[in-house]
Amino acid sequence: MIGIRPVLPWETETVPTLEIANVSVVYDVDDGPALTAVDDVSITVDTDQFITVIGPSGCGKSTLLHCMGGLFRPTAGEIRIDGKVMSGPDPTKAAFVFQEYSLLPWKTVLDNAAIGLQFAHVSRSERTARADEALSRVGLSDFMNSYPYQLSGGMQQRVAVARALTMDPEILLMDEPFGALDEQTRRALGFEMTAALTESRKTVIMVTHSLDEAIFWGDRVIVMSGRPGHILQEFQIKTPRPRSVDFLATDEFVELRSKLLALLAPTPSAEPESAPDSTIQVR
Ligand code: ADP
Ligand code: MG
């Protein structure tokens, strides 16, 4: 007789989607002392969470994100996705959206959105279907056959988000994705994208230098110190996503914003490189 073995409690426990465990990054510098960019950072992220990371320029945010995407191996500690150590880039696990427009000018919007799938040797019909769906999610169905030069900056960044979504990654890594856009476009895009990404149920880590964006988009805001970057404090945001413009006037938003402002204010004793730079937008 075959008995049915009971499921033991630890077998049902879910593994966090992303674990950053005691990560430090030290860069070798040719003619000077080694530079510690990231200092013992640990973050555990569950599925579907939207994490925003904010901190002074040069505090190691991009370095940390590159480690999460397997583009760079930490000097100490490790990054685990679904419990497995990240040993190199894998866009089906973690896909990037960078700040610079990174579209190929000679390819249509559809082909740009599908490029990752093309590199992965996915058939033309499947890549078209997946790119089509991702472009619809970001509101670009009517521009599939356009070329990048025919799109505004905001639309180009939406294509970059769609390109990452076509890979159906578990985690989306966004490094100041809307940093090159003007404030108004950025806000409008923020409202649209936060809805699209919430619907897509992706785990997202987004670096931003805008306090408003950090609060508006995030379930958790992680504040990093000046270099060497470590976690100063973390805040949870209770209002569920996607949020509407009304959220900007709530006590939760206003109070958190003033706490972040105080935390990120330059201190007279800080080294020049570790002071927040003027790109931290105070609006
Ligand atoms: P952030 O994204 O927060 O502005 P970065 O991660 O880009 O910060 O950089 C953190 C620190 O590491 C900075 O002082 C930067 O000059 C330094 N750095 C970044 N990349 C390298 C590299 N490849 N070699 C040496 N130093 C680097
Ligand atoms: Mg950076």
pLDDT tens-digit map of 176-228: 988 878 888 888 887 778 778 888 888 999 999 899 999 999 999 999 999 89
Strand 171-175: give its sheet, edge to edge. 94-97, 171-175, 203-207, 50-54, 220-224, 231-236
Q: Give CA–CA dist 63/18, Å, rounded.
A: 16
Q: Give CA–CA dist 150/262, Å, rounded.
A: 42
Q: Give CA–CA dist 166/133, Å, rounded.
A: 8
* Amino acid residing at 185: T
Q: Distance from the CA of 142 to the center of ligand 1, in angstroms?
A: 39
Q: Distance from the CA of 58 to the center of ligand 2, in angstroms?
A: 7
Q: Whose CA is nearest to atom 25 of ligand 1?
A: 27
Where does CATH 3.40.50.300 sit in the chain?
Answer: 13-93+170-266+278-282
- The answer, yes or no, to whether the previous bond of 240 is cis (omega within 30 of 0) is no
Note the pLDDT of residue 188. 80
Note the pLDDT of residue 73. 93
Q: Are 64 and 229 in contact (CB under 8 A)?
A: yes
Note the pLDDT of residue 8. 63
Which residue stretches of the chain have pLDDT < 70?
1-4, 6-14, 101, 267-283
How is domain 13-93+170-266+278-282 classified at the architecture level of CATH?
A: 3-Layer(aba) Sandwich (3.40)
3-class secondary structure, 14: coil
Q: Is 189 in the pocket of ligand 1 (CB under 6 A)?
A: no
Note the pLDDT of residue 252. 97
Distances (CA, A) of 79 to 85, 186, 187: 6, 30, 32
Ligand 1 pocket: which of 41, 53, 62 to mutate (most atoms within 8 A of CB): 62
Q: What are phi and psi of 96, to 5 degrees?
A: -100, 145
* Amino acid residing at 164: A
Q: Is 60 in the pocket of ligand 1 (CB under 6 A)?
A: yes
Q: Distance from the CA of 70 to the center of ligand 2, in angstroms?
A: 16
Helices within the chain (DSSP H only): 9-12, 61-68, 109-113, 115-119, 124-137, 153-166, 183-200, 211-217, 251-264
